[in-house]
Amino acid sequence: MKTLILDGSLAGDRVGTYSAATLQSAAVARGWAAEVVVLRDKKIGNCMGDFFCWLKSPGKCHVADEHQEISRKYLESDLVIFLSPITFGGYSSTLKKIVDHQIQNTLPFFTTIDGEIHHQKRYDNYPDILIIGWLEEPDAEAESVFRNLAWRNSINFYAKSHVCGILYGTQSERVTKEQLDRLFEKVVRRESDRDATLPTITCSLAPATPVQRALLLVGSPRLEKSSSSSLGSYLFEQLQQQGVETETIYLYKAINTAARMDALRDAIDRVDLIVLAFPLYVDTLPAPVISVFEHVVTHCRKKLKTTRFTAIVNCGFPEASQNANAIAVCAEFARSAGFEWMGGLPLGAGEGMVHAQPLQQLGGQGRSLRQALERAAGELADGQPVSDKSRELLAKPVIPVWMYKLGGTIGWTMKARKNGTQKLLKARPYQKVTPG
């Protein structure tokens, strides 16, 4: 039996170091092989959302860094343990970076699990997972968001057994060890946690005042040529028509230099509304966006005026509801940053519908998208949270699920043919080799 422990903690994090060592000892005591990978010490690039791991080198990211060896070990393991400080109700950017690469372990084609669309398996077997997060002290809302993310990941990771646990920095080592031992034994017994629902997150009750300046943050690696940019830009065109001054920053450019991060902080100080537009990555935010959030909370100056925050998130599944965890993480970030949460706008089948085109070019198919964003722009310009009506309009399915699944099969097959990989689409580069 093999256990792989992925430590997503920061340097000097006592809980992370202690948890990794304790769990490794528990596995070894059972006669299992156990390895700890300290992710902060590894060279792992960000998932760039190019789908090359499906189309050009199926099952394997084309970037040859240390994530490839970790991915091989992941699929050779019987149990994988994820360790992370709970960060806005989700994972640290350090852990999320390797989680984002898990998309290569599925196929581009769709299947239905419990009435919901997911990607098909690439491999016959996947490891069980134990996901452990920690906070300095109890926080019921953040804990619920974290447990929901762990449960959502267990579905997409095809884990037969999945367990989630939460530790606190205020605990003694004795209490922490006892809890870690219980969690380890639970997953060894092949038990699983129950489905974890999200908490009810309320929008800001701050008095509504008209917005003067707004900042669009685009959290897609495709920058201007992304569906996230198309959605955010249309919303901001409507804000401009209502007299709001606007500015746009592409986060994947900002993370590259200290000067651009300084410029981001300055921009945040200037505005009273921030809108984040991004694609869903493995049930929540992409790692670089989380990294920016971490930086903002750690380094931004205390604001002297009210700053409102909202998010537009689109996913490649037809159900807008699959964006729920990402929106909850955005709300948790707003709480941590001292921003007023104005609600989120979820879109299903985003890439399939928008294709990074200006929304004006989508014709009748994009009517409900435009109406939703126009309505939301009016609400936000007045300093009001996004209404249920705006959310429902954006989330309204335009394509029947059966048609979306069929279109996905045809579309991915045609793209593979163009790349000369049609016969390799179901390749298993990290297939576990059975001795003998």
237-261 pLDDT per residue, tens: 999 999 999 999 999 999 888 999 9
Q: Are 342 and 371 in contact (CB under 8 A)?
A: no
* CB contact set of 291 (below 8 Å; sequence gap of 6+): 93, 255
**Where residue 307 falls among pLDDT bands split at 50, 70, 90?**
very high
The answer to whether residue 304 scores a pLDDT higher than 90 is no
User: How much is the pLDDT for 330?
Assistant: 99
How many Å apart are CA 236 and CA 243, to the nearest integer? Answer: 11
Q: Are 61 and 429 in contact (CB under 8 A)?
A: no
The answer to whether residue 301 scores a pLDDT higher than 70 is no
User: How much is the pLDDT for 97?
Assistant: 98
User: How much is the pLDDT for 364?
Assistant: 87
Q: Does 2-188 match 213-395 in CATH topology?
A: yes
By the 10 Å C-beta count (0-12 exposed, 13-18 middle, 19+ buried), 5 is classed as: buried
Question: pLDDT tens digit string along 348-404?
Answer: 998 888 989 999 999 888 899 999 999 999 999 999 999 999 999 999 988 899 999
SS3 251: helix
The answer to whether residue 434 scores a pLDDT higher than 90 is no
Mean pLDDT of 179-206: 96
Region class of 404: left (phi > 0), else alpha (psi between -120 and 50), else beta: alpha
Q: Are 248 and 218 in contact (CB under 8 A)?
A: yes
Mean pLDDT of 115-125: 97
Mean pLDDT of 155-184: 98
Q: What is the DSSP letter of 206?
A: S
Q: What is the DSSP letter of 284?
A: B
How many Å apart are CA 196 and CA 324, to the nearest integer? Answer: 12
By the 10 Å C-beta count (0-12 exposed, 13-18 middle, 19+ buried), 96 is classed as: buried
Name the percent of the chain lying above pLDDT 90.
92
Mean pLDDT of 128-141: 98
**Where residue 202 falls among pLDDT bands split at 50, 70, 90?**
very high
**CA 290, 225, 410, 54 torsion-angle sign:** negative
User: How much is the pLDDT for 305?
Assistant: 80
Domain 213-395 CATH class label: alpha beta
> In terms of residues, how long is the chain?
436
pTM: 0.96
Tell me which residue has tokens 């299947």.
111
Q: Average per-residue pLDDT in the chain? A: 96
User: How much is the pLDDT for 435?
Assistant: 60
How many Å apart are CA 304 and CA 273, to the nearest integer? Answer: 14
Domain ranges, ordered by start, for the chain? 2-188, 213-395
Question: pLDDT tens digit string along 316-325?
Answer: 999 999 999 9
Tell me the β-bridge partners of 34: 3
CATH of domain 2-188: 3.40.50.360
